[in-house]
Amino acid sequence: MQWTLVIPLKPLARAKSRLSDTASDGLRPGLALAFAQDTVAAALACPAVKDVAVVTDDALAGRELGALGAHIVPDEPGGGLNAALAHAAAVVRSSRPESALAALNADLPALRPLELARVLDSAAQFPRAFLPDAAAIGTTLLTAAPGRDLLPSFGTNSRTRHRESGAVELDLDQVDSVRQDVDTGADLRAALALGVGPRTATAAARLLIKEQ
């Protein structure tokens, strides 16, 4: 099965506020963009991924991620993360009604294409499925088979909400790069220990933080 990934990205100036203990206001937008660039590049290199749609209203992010090969979908609802994902899913399905969809976080800078392929191949067995994040509280990936609605419910405690919505929780090992999103300095150190993409490595080098 080939998947279309939908990746949401808020305006860079407002992104990654929880990294304030590690990165200054001037550095956080660049970090958020680097995370998204490495995430999109790895996703596009995944053999199970047909294409990637990034939903964002940030002009710089749109240009940079579009240059990598992502399709940019304007965030027309402006109603937050789940509204953005539902909108992008509808845009994709309007032209390809039978697309298999996966919502993926934009802050997975250590993402490895073959680990992502393993997760997507497992998800293909179910109408809807999701992968919990490294903290086992949130969600980094949510899938919907052809003909199924995505029904995103990201945010605090999204693992519980996605499970309650009927999505199957994927129980996989050795896919740490797909679980390790970055919200805090501790998350970034964990991602660095896994091995991040080149753009995040360059941006993180300015922070002078130690890997775990």
Q: Output the known binding site for phosphoenolpyruvate.
A: 139, 155, 158
Sign of the CA dihedral running 9, 15, 18, 20: positive
Q: How far apart are CA 180 and CA 105, in angstroms?
A: 10
- 3-class DSSP state for residue 8? strand
CB atoms within 10 A of CB 62: 18
Q: Indicate left, alpha or beta for 16 from its phi (over 0: left) and psi (-120 to 50: alpha).
A: left
Q: Which residues are annotated as a binding site?
A: 139, 155, 158
Q: How far apart are CA 202 and CA 127, in angstroms?
A: 39
Going from the C-alpha of 28 to that of each of 18, 25, 164, 182, the distances in angstroms are: 10, 6, 34, 12
Q: How far apart are CA 150 and CA 100, in angstroms?
A: 10
Residue 176 exposed, middle or buried by CB count within 10 Å (0-12, 13-18, 19+): middle
Through-space distance between the first and last CA atoms of the chain, rounded to whole angstroms: 36
Residue 113 exposed, middle or buried by CB count within 10 Å (0-12, 13-18, 19+): middle
